[in-house]
Structure 1
Amino acid sequence: AADTVKRVAQELGGKSPNIILPDADFAAAVRLGVEACLGNSGQSCDAPTRMLVPADRHEEALAVARAAAESQRVGPPQDEATVLGPVVSQAQFDKIQRLIVAGLAEGATLVTGGPGRPEHLNRGYYVRPTVFGHVRPEMTIAREEIFGPVLSVLSYRDEEEAIAMANDTVYGLAAYVQSTDLAHARRVAKRLQAGQVQINYPDWDTHAPFGGYKQSGNGREYADFGIHDFLEIKGIVGYGA
């Protein structure tokens, strides 16, 4: 693209934060956050893979997250009971396994899941839905995009710390905010450094621009925003003279 000066729009990776505010419907917010993280076997660029919860409710969040993750049956796509299928390749399977092991080695609490395939599967690129608790911001599983069914749960002491932790990433594709007070959620959403912020798990909206900040890319998709990258601007100076 550089040789011919082609315009490039890049939709790249993410490590999207999901801030569950103290005034959220807590159990529902955690459960839906787990489901959003694990969907498509975690192979979603905008998956909310970092769940930020109040420090005094961390154990409560882990209990809900564990139940939610363990309800996601992994199996062959042709099985009607399957919720999560395999990941895309051996290379991706191996990367996910390496990062799960890194989480254990660095001292995160394994809530459910872990290395290897689910017990009822002896072959295929199937990954156990995994939840880590007591994750610290400097840990590998809190920094690197795993692109698999792995959730990291982190604690924050107050709202300012939650926002700082959410923004402390080289990525900036998406972010999520959960609150029963819409005005409160909007105030937090405005401060998050991400190309798209979703409040209270809305339906997907192709009229809203989608694309990243920082190392999550450039350009935007959807609606008229997606047309802009295909246009050239001409300025005629002196036209009105």
Structure 2
Amino acid sequence: MYSLPLRSVFIGGRWVAPRATGTIAVENPATQHQIAEVPDCDSADVWHAVDAARSALPGWSATGPAERGAALTALREALLEHQEGLARTVTREMGSPITFARRVQTGLPVKVLDGFIDELAAATAQERIGHSLVVREPIGVAAAITPWNYPLHQAVAKIGAALAAGCTLVLKPSELAPLSAYALTRIIEGIGLPPGVFNLVPGRGSTTGAALAADDGVDVVSFTGSLEAGRKIGAAAAQSVKRTCLELGGKSATVVLSDADLATAVEDGVHSALHNAGQTCSARTRLLVPRHRLDEALDVARAVVAAYVPGDPEDPACLLGPLASAQQRERVLAHLELAARSGARQVAGPGRPERLPHLGHYVAPSIWTGVSPSSPLALEEIFGPVLAVMAFGDDEEAVSLANHSDYGLAATVWSADTDRALSVARRLQVGQVDINDAKFNAAAPFGGFRQSGVGRELGRHGIQEFQEVKSLQLPA
């Protein structure tokens, strides 16, 4: 893996000293030891990076699909070459178990780039509508503000789409997990993009991220993070009426219909809720099962959760690592205390306290039932290893329960009858629905309804978030 110049920022094709003097300590959440320190950039660094991106925009926006596709292909190959080092970096900076980091944290970005490469020609193609020629053009300079839970994947999803569209960009990674962004920047440096096409400025969301969102030199902001932060980003961007793409979270459901293979469906639902310690925006943290099969479902869920023993995320056998920060741990524990006071019943976890490692921001996995549909446990994104199991009587009630949320990101519907599952899926107010064991499609649009955000990522639709549409009326 490349050495990382952690005291520098990457602007205009060079590693340079930041103009800000502050720094941010990076902690390994499994050991609570500081492992690095990165710059805490300010508005002067943001202005410098945006200016570099704007200077590079005429040249990069004039390139064609072939040149952009070649850059994405080079990035894809470099990610594969450095996949193990990247996986270890993600594990150390945010606690994702190494096996999951290899398979998803670093494997998914490669598939995301495949989707962009395959869809690039279609995403940039012109079309004829009557006597008008409709063309797509790069929107301009993009600000990419990424989260800590999937730090590499989210960076690649935004960078790949922006580059494919012909935009230049500035990346601001989460202050909790900036090291994979530094590693990615080293890789991007090696593929030979023109200076200024890609820039990196680390820092806090409240300062660096806010400055990026408000900068008049930025034309589009792509943000993934919390609902609260997304509202602030949207408000700042609105001052200059710049486009925003906001992916803000969810409270997704696994819907197990009465004719489904219950054991398989429940096992899948538990895994979805607990992988990455529940720190996934599309995690299906509500499991909806037929009322007459509730006890059976709880038995299956208990058996599955028993394998999720908190442990060292660098151990390949580990399924459950720490939460990413002390603040996140305290937030999850507060939710669990509230759930107990609200009358919900804990039916699995946390087990004996001594099973938790002595160091690290660990929370034992837990399963709850007797959850009121109007309670915080059923409505709020907890972002921890917590699953609410809820019962329904018929398909109509299942749909009503699944839609009883301010979010609308994802869902899964299980049924032995695909047509029945599709009928339910069409009534769910979410951005993507898996039918039974359907696999994630990294080329299909990803995003949500309502407070899950605005816009779509991945594939053709993700590229088009970074484009403007122009109509050219031709003479008869």
**Which TM bucket (shorter chain)?**
over 0.9
Residue pair 2:310, 2:356 contacting (<8 A) in 1 also: no
> CA-to-partner distance for each residue in 1:7-47, whole Å, 9 max, x for gaps?
11001110001100011100111011101110000000000
- Name the residue aligned to 1:121: 357
Residue pair 2:356, 2:362 contacting (<8 A) in 1 also: no
Runs of 5+ unmatched residues, structure 1: none
Distance 2:292 2:248 in 1: 34
> CA-to-partner distance for each residue in 1:214-237, whole Å, 9 max, x for gaps?
000011111111111111122346
2:393 equivalent among 133, 145, 157: 157
- Name the residue aligned to 1:133: 369
- Name the residue aligned to 2:104: none
1:199 equivalent among 435, 440, 443: 435
- Name the residue aligned to 1:166: 402
SS in 2 for 1:63: helix
- Name the residue aligned to 1:56: 292
- Name the residue aligned to 2:252: 16
- Name the residue aligned to 2:266: 30
2:459 equivalent among 210, 216, 223: 223
2:282 equivalent among 42, 46, 49: 46
Structure 1 pair 172–28 and aligned structure 2 pair: CA distance change class (3 A): same
Distance 1:201 1:91 in 2: 34
Structure with greater helix share of residues: 2
Shift of 1:168: 1.1
1:99 equivalent among 323, 335, 340: 335
1:181 equivalent among 417, 421, 433: 417
Distance 2:407 2:361 in 1: 27
Distance 2:446 2:316 in 1: 32
Structure with greater strand share of residues: 2
SS in 2 for 1:161: helix
Q: Does 1:74 align with 2:310?
A: yes
Shift of 1:240: 4.2
Structure 1 pair 120–10 and aligned structure 2 pair: CA distance change class (3 A): closer
CA RMSD after TM alignment: 1.6
Larger Rg: 2
Residue pair 2:310, 2:355 contacting (<8 A) in 1 also: no
Residue pair 2:369, 2:389 contacting (<8 A) in 1 also: yes
Structure 1 pair 163–232 and aligned structure 2 pair: CA distance change class (3 A): same
- Name the residue aligned to 1:233: 469
Residue pair 2:356, 2:364 contacting (<8 A) in 1 also: no
Amino acid at match of 1:26: L
Deviates more, 1:210-219 or 1:228-237: 228-237
Structure 1 pair 203–5 and aligned structure 2 pair: CA distance change class (3 A): same
SS in 2 for 1:227: helix
Higher relative contact order (CA 8 A, sep 6+): 1
Residue pair 2:309, 2:364 contacting (<8 A) in 1 also: no
Shift of 1:139: 1.4
Distance 2:378 2:413 in 1: 18
Shift of 1:118: 5.9
